[in-house]
């Protein structure tokens, strides 16, 4: 089917399209892929040749229907494997991303379907991100950033924006995990820091933290 590299580009474009609806720029893609702009141009041409993306020179790139479908299948596999690692193999949520980056490229529709079934058709991965079903459908939750809450408002923690080990371990250390309720006690206008309460404990967090935690309000 498609190479690992092609799949990784498609996935990156898929994620960046949320932010750049008008088309994903070569530089944005180069940064996401941790490669050089010239390499991106080369690959975009190949993807365009294969009708996985729509590309006009200097105008950025968009996924075609086929490209989008392919990207979603890769994301589906990534998130199913992350769920598997956490729920079945006792991995912590900060340890699974790199392994899922490898597993997401395993080619077998039956494997993906059977894994999904084995896991009980989970709807969200360990970081709160939606897992597309076999048809590629998934629901985008109406979540918001904790930073958007005002004093005395509260919400349930439902996901992370940054899913780096560093951030996830910080959350672990402070006993913040998905499903818990967070209430804003104070909000400092000057630096955006907050005093929150989570499970009866008070905690002061910087804006960098509240900007990377998704919550859902009732």
Partner DNA sequence: AAATAAATTTAGACAAGACTAAAAATATTG
Partner DNA sequence: CAATATTTTTAGTCTTGTCTAAATTTATTT
Q: Does 134 bind its own copies (CB under 8 A)?
A: no
Least distance CB 46 / DNA (angstroms): 5
Q: Does 164 bind DNA (CB under 7 A)?
A: no
Of 24, 115, 146, 147, the one binding its own copies (CB under 8 A) is 115
Give the phi and the psi of residue 103 in degrees, each rounded to 5: -65, -25
Of 25, 46, 48, 95, the one binding its own copies (CB under 8 A) is 95
Site for DNA in 9-28 (CB under 7 A): 25-28
Give the phi and the psi of residue 9 in degrees, each rounded to 5: -65, -45
| DSSP symbols for 147-195 | GG--TT-EEEEEEES---HHHHHHHHHTT--TT-EEEEEEE-TTT--EE
Structure token pair of residue 94: 């900060």
Least distance CB 105 / DNA (angstroms): 11
Q: Does 102 bind its own copies (CB under 8 A)?
A: yes
| DSSP symbols for 17-28 | HTT-TT-B-HHH
Mark the segment that binds its own copies (CB under 8 A) among 58-66, 103-111, 171-179, 200-208: 103-111
Beta carbon nearer to Mn ion, 62 or 78 = 78
Residue 26 binds which entry of its own copies, DNA, Mn ion, none, CB below 5-8 Å type-dependent: DNA
Q: Does 127 bind Mn ion (CB under 5 A)?
A: yes
Q: Does 11 bind Mn ion (CB under 5 A)?
A: no
CB-based contact 72:78 (threshold 8 Å): no
Beta-carbon contacts of 116 under 8 Å, excluding residues fewer than 6 positions away, are 80, 122, 133, 134
For CA atoms 148, 165, 74, 43, the dihedral sign is positive
Residue numbers at the binding site for its own copies (CB under 8 A):
85, 88-91, 95, 98-99, 102-103, 106-108, 110-111, 114-115, 117-118
């Amino acid at each position: 089917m498609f190479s690992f590299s092609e799949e990784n580009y498609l996935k990156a474009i898929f994620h960046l399209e949320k932010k750049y609806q008008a088309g994903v720029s070569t530089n944005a893609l180069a940064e996401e892929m941790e490669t050089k702009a010239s390499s991106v141009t080369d690959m975009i041409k190949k993807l365009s040749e294969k009708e996985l993306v729509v590309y006009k020179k200097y105008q950025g790139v968009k996924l075609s229907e086929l490209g989008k479908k392919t990207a979603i299948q890769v994301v589906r596999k990534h998130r199913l494997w992350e769920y598997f690692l956490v729920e079945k193999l006792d991995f912590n949520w900060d340890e699974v991303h790199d392994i899922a980056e490898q597993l997401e490229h395993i080619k077998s529709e039956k494997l993906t379907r059977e894994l999904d079934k084995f896991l009980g058709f989970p709807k969200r991965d360990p970081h709160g991100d939606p897992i597309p079903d076999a048809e590629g459908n998934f629901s985008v939750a109406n979540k918001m950033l904790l930073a958007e809450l005002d004093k005395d408002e509260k919400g349930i923690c439902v996901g992370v924006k940054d899913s780096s080990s560093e951030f996830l371990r910080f959350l672990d250390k402070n006993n913040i995990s998905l499903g818990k309720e967070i209430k804003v006690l104070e909000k400092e206008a000057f630096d955006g820091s907050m005093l929150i309460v989570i499970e009866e404990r008070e905690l002061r967090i910087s804006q960098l933290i509240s900007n990377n935690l998704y919550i859902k309000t009732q």
